[in-house]
Chains A and B, each alone.
Chain A
Amino acid sequence: MEIKVLYFGVLAEVTQTMFRQYSGIISFSHLMQRINDEYPDFVHYTYRIAVNSVLQNEEPQLKNNDEVAFLPPFAGG
């Protein structure tokens, strides 16, 4: 699957980018494995996950071309 990944807040600093496209992803855990391999510091941060702008409470079932966003704790206002 092709998966678009967005990183926000401190995670954009950790990864040095706000956007990455990942190819050949077979599942969410596979995507996490790729991200953690690429950015070893990623595991040190707290975040929530949204798929196509919807917050997820459980491990999501990804589809081709889904947009997965990694969201550190919000700080609006």
Chain B
Amino acid sequence: MNLSGSHNDRGGQSLFVGRVRADEKGMKRVRAIEYTAYGDMAALEAKKIKEEVLSGFSDVRDIAILHSTGLVNAGEISLLILVSAGHRRQAIDACSMTVELIKERLPVWKKEIFDDLSHEWINEKKA
């Protein structure tokens, strides 16, 4: 198995896999989440996040971020982050930081779709 291409200086890699949970809300259960993204801005923001994390962890060599859009069924993967570093400690810490920044700053929205096909926007706030 090779997750680091031709690089052999990466002693530690941390992988985060985010999946859609079949949460129960009242009498309903989540069957899928529909993700939408502001593509241009998300690409810019993901690049900024990578640069910030790389500048904060001297041992981190590379960060890969993959975020799903469209319909993702319960149990399926919505987010993948792979951080490669010289050693494990910074790989784990940088991966954790990247996940938090993605959740805080990536212009992505999710609509939970329930088993009765009703839906609810996550984080929707009324002014």
Find A43's partner among B107, B108, B125, B127 (CB 8 Å cutoff): B127
Tell whether B94 is near chain A: CB-to-CB under 8 Å.
Answer: no
Across the interface, do B41 and A72 meet the contact criterion of CB distance under 8 Å?
Answer: no
Tell whether B7 is near chain A: CB-to-CB under 8 Å.
Answer: no
Question: Whose C-beta in chain A lies nearest to the C-beta of B109?
Answer: A9
Q: How many residues of A contact B (CB 8 A)?
A: 21
Tell whether A46 is near chain B: CB-to-CB under 8 Å.
Answer: yes
B residues bordering A, Cβ < 8 Å? 18, 35-38, 40-41, 44, 67, 78-79, 99, 102-111, 121-127
A residues bordering B, Cβ < 8 Å? 6, 8-10, 12-13, 18, 43-46, 50, 53, 69, 71-77
* Top 10 closest pairs, chain A to chain B, by CB: A9-B109, A76-B108, A46-B125, A76-B106, A53-B41, A73-B123, A75-B122, A10-B121, A77-B103, A75-B123
